[in-house]
Amino acid sequence: MLFHSNIFILYFFPLTLLLLFISSKIKFDNKIILILASLFFYSWWNINYLPLIILSIFINFFLGKKIQKSKNDKKLFLSISILFNISLLFSFKYADFFISNYNFLTNSGVNKLNLPFPLGISFYTFQIITYLVDCYYGKITLHKFKNFALFVVFFPQLIAGPIIKYNFLIDQLNIAKFFVLRAGNVLKGLVLFFIGFIKKVFFADQLSLIVESGYLNYESLNFLEAWMTSLAFTFQIYFDFSGYVDMALGCALMLNIILPINFNSPYKAYNMIHFWRKWHITLAEFLMNYIYYPLLRFLPSISFLLAMLATIIVFFLAGLWHGPSWMFITFGLIHGIGVIFNHCKQKFFNFKIYLPLSIFLTFNYVNLSFIIFRSENFEQAFTIIYKMFNFSSYSISMLSDLFSGLDLLKNITLLILSILVIFIFKNSDYLINSKYLK
Active site residues: 322
Rounded Cα–Cα distance for residues 333 and 313 (Å): 8
DSSP 398: T
Q: What φ, ψ does residue 15 adopt, rounded to 5°?
A: -65, -35
Rounded Cα–Cα distance for residues 22 and 35 (Å): 16
**Alpha-carbon distance values, 280 to 32, 261, 322, 329, 391 (Å):** 30, 9, 12, 17, 34
DSSP 396: S
Q: What φ, ψ does residue 425 adopt, rounded to 5°?
A: -75, 160
201, 371 contact by CB (below 8 A): no
Secondary structure (3-state) at 71 = coil
| Amino acid residing at 367 | N
Report how far Cα 417 is from the mean position of its chain's Cα atoms: 24
DSSP 323: -
**Which residues lie below 8 Å from residue 132, measured CB to CB, with a gap of 6+?**
60, 63, 64, 67, 78, 81, 82, 85
Is the link from the previous residue into 51 a cis peptide, with omega within 30 of 0? Answer: no
Q: Which residue in 327, 346, 186, 164 sits closest to 260, CA to CA?
A: 164
What is the CB neighbour count within 10 angstroms for residue 82? 18
Rounded Cα–Cα distance for residues 135 and 70 (Å): 11
DSSP of 125-174 = HHHHHHHHHHHHTT------HHHHHHHHH-GGGTTT-----HHHHHHHHT
